[in-house]
A and B are shown apart, each in its own frame.
Chain A
Amino acid sequence: MMSLEFLVASGIGFVSATGIYLILRGRTWPVVLGLSLLGYAVNVFIFAMGRLWQDAAPILSAGGRVADPLPQALVLTAIVIGFATTGFVIEMALRSRHETGTDHVDGQEAGKTPETRDRA
């Protein structure tokens, strides 16, 4: 029977792989999705670094087993920061689309050279 650790680790690995694949795409929207997926995988990874617990209290109590509370606090911070940066990168992608006229991450379609591009 598969252990909980194995399942969680495989899940993190699969989501990270999907995220990395999407980050390497050429359009900004898949890249944004990839960054979000990678963020989720990382958040679960941080959480799992406090070990996986069953039947344990989330905070220090008088008796019984307790889960490590620090990774929970860390992951909360990471989620908040990840949320803010995702919002920002979406806005950035939209502005880039507006300024360059394409949603390609290089600001120009592959193989084409827009006339505005200076040869610096």
Chain B
Amino acid sequence: MITEFLSTFFSAHLPVLPVLLPLFTAVVLLLMGDGASAADSHQQVRPTKQRLLSMASVVLGAVFAWRLMTDADAGALTVYPLGGWQAPFGIVLVVDRLSAMMLALTWTIAVPVLWYATAHWDGRGRHFHALFHFQLMGLSGAFITGDLFNLFVFFEILLIASYVLLVHGHGAERFKAGVHYVVLNLAASALFLIGLAIIYGLTGTLNMADLALRVAKLDAEEAVLLKIGAMVLLVVFGLKAAIVPLYMWLPGAYAVASAPVAALFAIMTKVGVYSIIRVHVGIFGEGAGHAALVVEPWLLPVALVTSVMGVLGALAAHSLARLAAYLTVASVGLVLASVGLFTTAALSAALYYMVHSTLVVAALFLLVELIASQRGDAKDKLLPAIPVAQPITLGLMTLLAAASVAGLPPLPGFLGKLMILQSASSSSAHIWVWSVVLGAGFLTLIGLARAGSMVFWNVLPAPPSPTAASSPDSPSFNTRTMAATLGLLALGLMLAVGASPMKRYTDAAAAQLADTSAYADAVLGPLGGAAAETTRPYRGGEGEVILPNAGSGSGDKP
């Protein structure tokens, strides 16, 4: 009886659970408090129960996300109308292969990152777990929503959570970066709304599937305005994804954030990339009539320059955290360059490389803190300092992560770059793509080799007594953080082992994105889609509104 209810419940409501689960978990966590009274809010607290609940919720969410990805892998395009209102009038959640993959990636990273945070970071400020779950809710919602305005709302949710998480742990440096981050993102939100309003004013809809159909029907004059709207959205998503010239905020913000927060933020730049794929490939793609491929002249050059600026920044970085942050910028540049080729094969390569780079960058942020915690006062700065306590373990982990970021065979970074190179070979811009991908890989290698030799070999004599192993280096701190970081690194390696099924999946995801008519049919139904007869955009003034059934139709819906 109860199992029957559960199974029907899950099969019916699975798509919305990755949003609802973190929401309810976060609310419960807020109600439980975090064990710190107002008087000693800056003291270390050990919220044991909250940790258990938080971890359990994240693991459960990961199970849901993987289940959704398995369903999507089988070809299911799940549409979940919220509140039972049908698209395009209601808001729908759509889980296709791309959404499910991003969802699974988010929750898979969240598990080791949260485990890492439970070692000691969650006690260094208030409400870490609740905010972490709000952030996950925003991320999950942004990845599965099928409505542009809803995407804005989920952006705001994940941003508000990230504002607070960024300054978690306090300190002047964090607040300085935090103010920049908040102001920039609020300005970007204003631009987002402007772009949405332009698009709504022209097409009369914000549903992504419906938009893709209606955009194609606009005449050339209106398409000019629509292109402006699309470009405004590119600026907004570009700020999130950190592309040239909008990446300046990222190194400062990510470098000062606490390690688990920075690792979680590794997925946040990918929200920008995902939105660019969803909007500028999915809606303003080849089938968009006069506005087709509006960002094509911009995306590829900008992305390639981003990649170059990222590796140059990595070469010039004075600290490991900034190095990792600049490598995030470089990897986003490569992913977007591949997206900017606008072919199915290149998109598939971009998705594979995006998954890899997210995992490895997240691992890198955790690793940086592990190293920094063992280097005494030098922390993560690239200066000669006392040797780390575990040179072999940390050194090997750094080597593994560095080789994967730089793209050395047989690590997944190499496979991803190879796919990008292959897919670019037929493009007219392949000389640029090839030289930037290979050059960036080489410079990344130099930057990481310089950093690695500075940290592990250019060391001062060890202090007479091992006092460096100070308070946070209690045994549980070391094993748990080490295991969490190793787990993330291992996940990255799994991508090389499972490269074949993964590539099949991204191929299918890219093909599914290209097939906009199947997407529209699934979301809108055959009648709500191309064949729909509605007065949108509603300009009025063109005669009286004729209600379908005046007087009697008002009782059906609230």
Q: Are A100 and B175 in contact (CB under 8 A)?
A: yes
Q: Are A67 and B175 in contact (CB under 8 A)?
A: no
Known A35-B183, A88-B163, A92-B182; contact A106-B176, beta-carbon cutoff 8 A: yes
Residues of A within 8 A of B544 (CB): 63-65
Find residues 533-558 in chain B having any chain A CB closer than 8 Å to their own CB. Answer: 537-541, 544-545, 547, 550-551
Closest A residue to B157 by beta carbon equals A81
Q: Report Cα–Cα, A108/B175, bound state, in Å.
A: 12
| Interface mask (A12-42 → B, CB under 8 Å = 1, otherwise 0) | 0000000000010000100100010011011
Q: Are A100 and B540 in contact (CB under 8 A)?
A: no
B121 at the interface (CB under 8 A from A): no
Q: Whole-angstrom distance from the CB of A64 to the nearest CB of chain B? A: 7
| Interface mask (B171-182 → A, CB under 8 Å = 1, otherwise 0) | 111011011101
Q: Which of B12-20, B194-202, B437-445 interfaces with chain A? A: B194-202
Give which listed residue, A49, A53, A96, contacts B179 with CB less than 8 A. A96
Q: Report Cα–Cα, A64/B544, bound state, in Å.
A: 6
Known A46-B193, A51-B540, A85-B160; contact A38-B149, beta-carbon cutoff 8 A: no
Find residues 58-112 in chain A having any chain B CB closer than 8 Å to their own CB. Answer: 60, 62-68, 70-71, 74, 77-78, 81, 84-85, 88-89, 92-93, 95-96, 99-100, 105-108
Residues of B within 8 A of A100 (CB): 172, 175-176
B153 at the interface (CB under 8 A from A): yes
Main secondary structure of the interface of B (DSSP, over half): helix
Q: Are A81 and B172 in contact (CB under 8 A)?
A: no
Residues of B within 8 A of A63 (CB): 544-545, 550
Q: Are A92 and B318 in contact (CB under 8 A)?
A: no
Residues of A within 8 A of B187 (CB): 23, 35, 38
Q: Whole-angstrom distance from the CB of B365 to the nearest CB of chain A? A: 15
Give which listed residue, A23, A45, A66, A96, contacts B176 with CB less than 8 A. A96
Known A81-B153, A85-B156; contact A96-B178, beta-carbon cutoff 8 A: yes
Closest A residue to B198 by beta carbon equals A49
B46 at the interface (CB under 8 A from A): no
Residues of A within 8 A of B183 (CB): 23, 31, 35, 89, 105
Q: Are A88 and B179 in contact (CB under 8 A)?
A: no
Q: Report Cα–Cα, A107/B171, bound state, in Å.
A: 11
| Interface mask (B182-195 → A, CB under 8 Å = 1, otherwise 0) | 11001101100110
B86 at the interface (CB under 8 A from A): no
Give which listed residue, B153, B189, B538, contacts A68 with CB less than 8 A. B538
A9 at the interface (CB under 8 A from B): no
Closest A residue to B545 by beta carbon equals A66
Q: Report Cα–Cα, A50/B553, bound state, in Å.
A: 24
Q: Are B197 and A120 in contact (CB under 8 A)?
A: no
Q: Report Cα–Cα, A44/B364, bound state, in Å.
A: 44
Known A39-B190, A74-B200; contact A120-B539, beta-carbon cutoff 8 A: no
Q: Report Cα–Cα, A78/B153, bound state, in Å.
A: 9
Question: Residue among A35, A41, A78 with the most chain B CB within 10 A?
Answer: A78
Residues of A within 8 A of B430 (CB): none
Known A66-B545, A81-B156; contact A88-B200, beta-carbon cutoff 8 A: no
B503 at the interface (CB under 8 A from A): no
Q: Are B545 and A60 in contact (CB under 8 A)?
A: yes
Q: Are A99 and B171 in contact (CB under 8 A)?
A: yes
Residues of B within 8 A of A53 (CB): 540
**The 7 A-B residue pairs with the shortest CB-CB distance in the complex, in nearest-first order:** A107-B176, A49-B201, A49-B197, A96-B175, A46-B197, A99-B175, A100-B172
Q: Can you give 7 A-B contacts (C-beta < 8 A)? A: A38-B187, A45-B194, A51-B201, A51-B538, A65-B544, A74-B197, A92-B179
Known: A46-B196, A60-B545, A65-B541. 11 other contacts (CB 8 A): A49-B198, A51-B201, A53-B540, A62-B551, A70-B200, A84-B160, A85-B189, A88-B163, A89-B182, A92-B163, A96-B175
